[in-house]
Amino acid sequence: MYNAVIDAPFGKVGIRAGGGALREIVYLPAHTAGVAPDNEIAERAAAQMAHYFDHGDAGFDLPLAPLGSAFQRRVWDGICAIPAGTVVTYGELARRVGTINPRAVGQACGDNPFPLVIPCHRVVSASGLGGFAHHGEEGFYLDVKRWLLAHEALSRPFELQ
């Protein structure tokens, strides 16, 4: 099912890779069994994620499968421009990518197949954290978002960009 499942401070991360590219990253609960990387892309992704878990301002250099619509890719490119330790609102990101619809931006954030690499946790609601990965505003996924934001704040104070 996964080409690797690695430990993360908030649980586990499942990595799917194939065709020379990263295909999906999935946040998983801690009780999920680990899986050693079984290909070069999964191995690179696992190593870069482990480095990120040690250094919240670390970036990623991985080939990504060409997934998503043109609009989603525009939103994901906008997300990649948000520096670690900084957050933007869905509305601000909507303006940056040339739309007036923050809900469409929220949908694209939730559809992101590459969390961490495309750091959608840096996009928040105007009234708080907002949801995460189409899982609402409570539970495991929001706890992951909180952890990621706090982790990145260790490298620099948060600011609304």
- pLDDT tens per residue across span 98-120: 988 899 999 999 999 999 999 99
Higher pLDDT residue, 139 or 154?
Answer: 139
Nearest by Cα to 68 from 58, 59, 78, 60:
78
- The yes-or-no answer on residue 80 being catalytic is no
Catalytic residue among 120, 124, 142, 148: 120
Query: Is 35 in the same domain as 74?
Result: no
Are 48 and 75 within one domain? no
Helices and strands: H and E segment counts in the chain: 5, 6
Domain that holds residue 40: 4-54
Burial letters 43-61, b for 16+ CB under 10 A, else e: bbbbebbeebbeebebebe
Residue 141 lies in a domain: yes
Cβ pair 160, 125 in contact under 8 A:
no
Q: Kindly state whether residues 99 and 142 are assigned to the same domain.
A: yes
- The pTM (predicted TM-score) of the whole model is 0.90
Domain boundary among 30, 54, 78: 54
Average pLDDT value over all residues in the chain: 91
